[in-house]
């Protein structure tokens, strides 16, 4: 569900047709009579996802089934069905829709069919954003990248994830495994939350089965790098909506730093020959459970302080110190984004004022600078689009560049 169809798959789908009598579809071994397997897409801890063609509706979808080597594990089949039913009841634009659930004709095992989402995972988009951001930072002579297009796009996607999770909470469902890898950014602007396999009921806190992530110990569910303290403690009874708030904070942490908040300390973890030991994991679990909360600005000094504070609150070790709901976290980040152009204006005013005070030559440009900055302030006060603020700031910046060209010493400030 998390890549674009490559040309070979497109050709395979296009070649699927009816048999000689024009009635029955050509069936690939291991598929149902309606769904024709085109390619095995990916495998996880429990399931296998295939790209399939819906013969009746002539469209490409994704089909999830239990991995053959996990079929005999207690609870595996029940978990897949439970995951399908939970996801199906969460009908929201930012949650992957389930189309059908059934059983494979050749072995009677369950499967469910969902939308195939092309594009990249949020984790891929984050890595790409940092590559372009550092290039942009060099080119812009250190202008704050908080307003860069990439970061804003990722934060906008993050807000859509928050809305999806808040909707799930309103339906009594906790995701419990939120991470950038489980968010798809589609080719046409879609943001879709995937993999509700560890979801639990907000009232019962029942995670439902013994199928745990690879490397997890009994009672611990989730992905270690994004686990909340209660998950690291192996206390599923303590999981609630604030567990998802913590994991959303962990997602925000990675958006701002290009790193997950929790990482193994063993240097050999970077070696292809290193296997994570239980001792490594237990050490990680203790650090997550006992704190302190990792700081964004210790890793990425250019990260906006306000977002660092928002992230720190969301990822508080004590649940009572976190945002009580996902929507409050959403509002905090939304508020920062709404204020970002105003912060740009204020920073520009302060910066230019210091330049004027430092250099007598610059004073002759004061009137022009003041006019542009005043226009920017007026535009910010009544703007309908952030693009307008960016353009206005660009005009003010152009004045600065003109000063810099004539008086290079100003750049040493």
Q: Are 7-115 and 119-324 the same fold in CATH?
A: no
Q: Where are the alpha helices (DSSP H) in 140-277?
A: 149-170, 229-232, 241-257
Residues 16, 36: Cα–Cα separation, whole Å = 8
* Closest C-alpha to 176, from 201, 209, 142: 201
Residues 29, 40: Cα–Cα separation, whole Å = 12
Which residues lie below 8 Å from residue 221, measured CB to CB, with a gap of 6+? 176, 177, 198, 207, 212, 213, 231, 236
Per-residue confidence band for 354, with pLDDT thresholds at 50, 70 and 90: low
pLDDT at 31 over 60: no
Q: What is the pLDDT of residue 252?
A: 97
- Say whether domain 119-324 belongs to CATH 1.10.510.10: yes
> What average pLDDT does the segment 26-33 reach?
44
> Which range, 36-45, 243-252, 259-268, 295-304, has the best average confidence (pLDDT)?
243-252
- Is 284:264 a contact under the CB 8 Å cutoff? yes
Per-residue confidence band for 263, with pLDDT thresholds at 50, 70 and 90: confident
Q: What is the pLDDT of residue 205?
A: 52
Q: What is the pLDDT of residue 201?
A: 84
The architecture in CATH of the region 7-115 reads: 2-Layer Sandwich (3.30)
How much is the mean pLDDT over the chain? Answer: 76
Per-residue confidence band for 92, with pLDDT thresholds at 50, 70 and 90: very high
Give the CA diameter of the chain: 89
Per-residue confidence band for 71, with pLDDT thresholds at 50, 70 and 90: confident
Domain ranges of the chain: 7-115, 119-324, 337-412
Among the ranges given (57-61, 244-248, 398-402), the one the predictor scored with the smallest mean pLDDT? 398-402
- Is 247:226 a contact under the CB 8 Å cutoff? yes
Q: Which one is predicted more confidently, 319 or 291?
A: 319
Q: Which residues pair with 54 in a beta bridge?
A: 35, 59
- Is 234:218 a contact under the CB 8 Å cutoff? yes
Look at the block and give the residue holding tokens 């810099």.
404
- Is 30:106 a contact under the CB 8 Å cutoff? yes
> What average pLDDT does the segment 367-371 reach?
59
Q: What is the pLDDT of residue 39?
A: 86
Q: Please tell me the pTM assigned to this model.
A: 0.72
- Is 251:126 a contact under the CB 8 Å cutoff? no
Q: What is the pLDDT of residue 342?
A: 58
Among the ranges given (108-122, 125-139, 252-266), the one the predictor scored with the smallest mean pLDDT? 125-139
Per-residue confidence band for 294, with pLDDT thresholds at 50, 70 and 90: confident
The three-class DSSP label of residue 336 is helix
Q: What is the pLDDT of residue 68?
A: 84
> What average pLDDT does the segment 358-366 reach?
57
Per-residue confidence band for 407, with pLDDT thresholds at 50, 70 and 90: very low
What is the percent of the chain with per-residue pLDDT over 70, rounded to a whole number?
A: 63
pLDDT in tens, 303-353: 888 899 899 999 999 999 999 999 999 999 998 988 765 555 555 555 556
> What average pLDDT does the segment 222-230 reach?
93
In angstroms and rounded to an integer, the radius of gyration of the C-alpha atoms of the chain is 25
Q: What is the pLDDT of residue 413?
A: 32
Q: Which one is predicted more confidently, 397 or 130?
A: 130
> Which range, 50-54, 246-250, 332-336, 357-361, has the best average confidence (pLDDT)?
246-250
- Is 176:231 a contact under the CB 8 Å cutoff? yes
pLDDT at 401 over 60: no
Residues 352, 75: Cα–Cα separation, whole Å = 65
Q: What count of residues does the chain have?
A: 413
pLDDT at 411 over 50: no
* Closest C-alpha to 251, from 240, 264, 262, 235: 262
pLDDT in tens, 198-216: 998 887 655 444 333 333 4
- The 8 Å CB, 24+ separation contacts for 29-38 are 29/106, 30/104, 30/106, 31/63, 31/104, 32/102, 32/104, 32/105, 32/111, 33/105, 35/61, 35/63, 35/113, 37/63, 38/9, 38/12, 38/13
Per-residue confidence band for 147, with pLDDT thresholds at 50, 70 and 90: very low
Among the ranges given (10-14, 52-56, 96-100, 389-393), the one the predictor scored with the smallest mean pLDDT? 10-14
């Amino acid at each position: 569900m998390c890549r674009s169809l490559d040309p070979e798959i497109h050709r395979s789908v296009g070649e699927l047709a009816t048999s000689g009598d024009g009635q029955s579809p050509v069936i690939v071994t291991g598929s149902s009579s309606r769904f024709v397997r085109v390619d095995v897409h990916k495998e996880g801890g429990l399931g296998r996802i295939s790209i399939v063609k819906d013969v009746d509706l002539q469209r490409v979808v994704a089909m999830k089934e239990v991995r053959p080597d996990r079929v005999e594990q207690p609870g595996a089949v029940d978990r897949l069905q439970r995951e399908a039913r939970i996801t199906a009841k969460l009908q929201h634009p930012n949650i992957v829709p389930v189309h059908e659930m059934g059983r494979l004709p050749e072995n009677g095992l369950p499967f469910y069919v969902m939308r195939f989402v092309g594009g990249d995972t949020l984790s891929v988009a984050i890595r790409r954003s940092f590559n372009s951001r550092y290039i942009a930072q060099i080119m812009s002579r250190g202008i704050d990248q908080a307003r860069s297009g990439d970061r804003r796009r990722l934060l906008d996607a993050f807000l859509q994830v928050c809305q999806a999770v808040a909707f799930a909470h309103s339906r009594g469902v906790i995701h419990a495994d939120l991470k950038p890898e489980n968010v798809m950014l589609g080719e046409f602007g879609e943001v879709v939350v995937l993999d509700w396999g560890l979801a639990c009921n907000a009232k019962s806190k029942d995670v439902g089965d013994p199928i745990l992530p690879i490397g997890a110990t009994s009672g611990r569910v989730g992905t270690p790098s994004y686990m909340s303290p209660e998950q690291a403690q192996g206390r599923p009874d303590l999981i609630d909506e604030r567990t998802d708030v913590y994991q959303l904070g962990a997602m925000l942490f990675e958006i701002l730093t290009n790193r997950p908040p929790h990482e193994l300390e063993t240097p050999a973890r970077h070696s292809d020959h290193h296997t994570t030991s239980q001792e490594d994991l237990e050490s990680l679990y203790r650090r997550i459970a006992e704190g302190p909360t990792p700081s964004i600005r210790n890793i990425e000094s250019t990260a906006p302080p306000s977002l660092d504070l928002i992230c720190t609150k969301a990822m508080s070790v004590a649940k009572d110190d976190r945002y009580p709901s996902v929507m409050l976290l959403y509002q905090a980040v939304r508020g920062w984004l709404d204020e970002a152009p105003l912060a740009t204006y204020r920073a520009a005013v302060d910066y230019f004022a210091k330049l004027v005070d430092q250099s007598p030559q610059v004073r002759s440009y004061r009137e022009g600078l003041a006019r542009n900055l005043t226009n920017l302030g007026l535009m910010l006060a009544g703007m309908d689009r952030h693009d307008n603020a960016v353009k206005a700031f660009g005009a003010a910046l152009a004045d600065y560049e003109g000063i810099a060209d004539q008086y290079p010493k100003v750049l040493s400030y």
